[in-house]
Structure 1
Amino acid sequence: MTSQRPLASGARLRITCDTCNLSKLCIPRGLNQGEVELLERIVRRNRTLDKGTALYRSGEWHHGILALKSGTVKLATLDRQGNEYVVDFLLPGDLLGFDGFASQRHSCSAIALETVSYCELPAHQIDLLTREIPGLLPVLMQHSGTQFDLGIQRLILSRRPAEERLAAFLAHLSERYRQRGFSAVEFRLSMTRQEIGNYLGLAPETVSRLFSQFEESRLIEVRGKLIHVLDMPRLLAFCPS
């Protein structure tokens, strides 16, 4: 929800939603100026957590809606046997916390995959704000609906061949980075091969083999965690229609 811009020497830094380069993806995108200013008085800014730290854990009381400013977060849940299932990967500009709306307890854990910073709209303020800011509820519903639609797409993708799953995963990440003003053809994967495999329903060995196969086919170039897409049209051709 927030960002920073340089100020003159001696001036006090004031961080606002207006100056955030992610506002077009975040809550302010659907609000007018007056509503954004009211929201800014409530939002808790500049929260920072280290890699491996939980923003919240499954079973905890609903924290509220969190807006990721930097870094990557893994949303995951456990079955009764303690097996982890990766539900989603969140990038800067994404909102999380919707998994706590239904029961007022989070059904997933949100884990930082690298150092992250975020803003928080506290749960106890949401009801009040939706009454004072008419545009807020539709915005939250739109974000929640988008996540539901993506869940359906992931379910469909899980029935596709392994090559299509990984190609679609990389193509989707590419588009998400492009929307955020980053390079669409060169980006860093903060998640492990095991986490990618868990998310896609593939064995880690299969993910590693497919990365090697894509690299040998000159679709991508892999340098550690850095992915360079060499042939986007061919990569997209692998994706399910």
Structure 2
Amino acid sequence: MGHRPDTPPRPASHGYNHILRRGEHLFRTGDQVDRVYRVVGGIFKSYFIHEDGDEQVIGFHLPGDLIGCDCLADELAAFSVVALDTSSVQRLSHHEGNGVPGLDQNQQKMMLSWMQEEILRLARLLHMERGGTDPRLARFLLDFSEAQRRRGFSAREFHLPMGRRDLARYIGLAPETVSRIFSRLRARGVLAVANNHVRILDHAALEQVARGHSDNSATPLAG
């Protein structure tokens, strides 16, 4: 399948940072993807559309994350990746004539690290979907906090770069439910929330909520 009009041209060489505007796709489901990208700035969302038209968000990609490793086997994208804000990527590899990705040693280590993180992330996501509503959001916030810490930023105070609707689609809740959970956690003194700016006031309490030790953890999915 050829690239659609809003799919940006391929970067010409290693080290080239390609900038995408909000709403521009790096690639879409079914596109040929023959390289790996590293997020340099901004944020990307990966998603696919179910047969009934519902959108399923399967991940958010922040600076340092890799995009495209999933496509190296058959060079076809199983999902779409779109910029949620002005963002940039750097090409890490290309396919040569024999179909083997040309990665140097450092890039191979990055890919292996990404694969390990991706397995753990998917395992957490599956576990999250079996829990109540409050633990889902609490677990996400703890994971995002840890991701910020690994990048050298504050783990206690951060800005969520994704909108409430995308966040809700990621953790399998209605946007209204997510807003109510934020309100509950704020009322309990666990979080301070202003728009998408979050400050964790009681990390231990947030961990308790994530483990399901909350009066609201059994709230129905429908929200």
The TM-score bracket by the shorter chain reads 0.7 to 0.9
Letter in structure 2 aligned against 1:93: G
Deviations 1:8-48 (A, max 9, x none): xxxxxxxxxxxxxxxxxxxxxxxxxxxxxxxxxx6242211
In 1, the alpha carbon distance for the partners of 2:112 and 2:131 equals: 29
* Residue matched to 1:188: 159
2:215 corresponds to:
none
Paired residue for 1:123, among 81, 84, 94? 94
**In structure 2, the residue corresponding to 1:164 is in which secondary structure?**
helix
RMSD value, Cα: 2.1
CA distance in 2, matches of 1:98, 1:128: 10
Q: Distance in 1 between matches of 2:105 and 2:193?
A: 47
Q: 1:122 Cα deviation (Å)?
A: 3.9
Partner Cα separation in structure 2 for residue 134 and residue 224 of structure 1: 42
Alpha carbons 2:34, 2:72 under 8 Å: kept? no
TM-score when normalising by structure 1:
0.76
1:83 aligned partner, one-letter code: D
One-letter amino acid of the structure 2 residue matched with residue 81 of structure 1 = D
Cα deviation 1:53-109 (Å, max 9, x = unaligned): 111111100141110111111111112232210001111111111231233110111
Equivalenced residues, count: 199
Matched residue of 2:29: which SS? Answer: coil
Greater helix content: 1
Query: What is the aligned partner in structure 2 of residue 143 from structure 1?
Result: 114
SS at match of 1:165: helix
- State the secondary structure of the residue aligned to 1:64: coil
Question: Which runs of 5 or more residues in structure 1 are unaligned?
Answer: 1-41
* Structure 2 residue 191 is the aligned partner of structure 1 residue 209: no
1:97 is aligned with what amino acid?
A: G
Kept in 2: contact 1:75–1:87 (CA 8 A): yes
Aligned-residue offset at 1:121: 2.2
Cα distance between partner residues in 1 of 2:86 and 2:106: 32
Q: In structure 2, do the counterparts of structure 1 residues 207 and 121 end up closer, same or farther at CA, with 3 Å as the change threshold?
A: same
TM-score (norm 2): 0.81
Partner of 1:14: none
Look up the match of 2:211: 240
Aligned partner of 1:159 among 101, 105, 130: 130
Aligned to 1:69: 40
Distance in 1 (alpha carbons) for counterparts of 2:44 and 2:107: 24
- Quick one: which amino acid aligns to residue 100 of structure 2? D
Residue type matched to 2:167 in 1? I
Q: What stretches of structure 2 of length at least 5 have no aligned partner?
A: 1-12, 213-223
Q: What is the Cα deviation at residue 128 of structure 1?
A: 5.7
In 2, Cα distance between the equivalents of 1:129 and 1:104?
14
Q: Distance in 1 between matches of 2:106 and 2:21?
A: 33
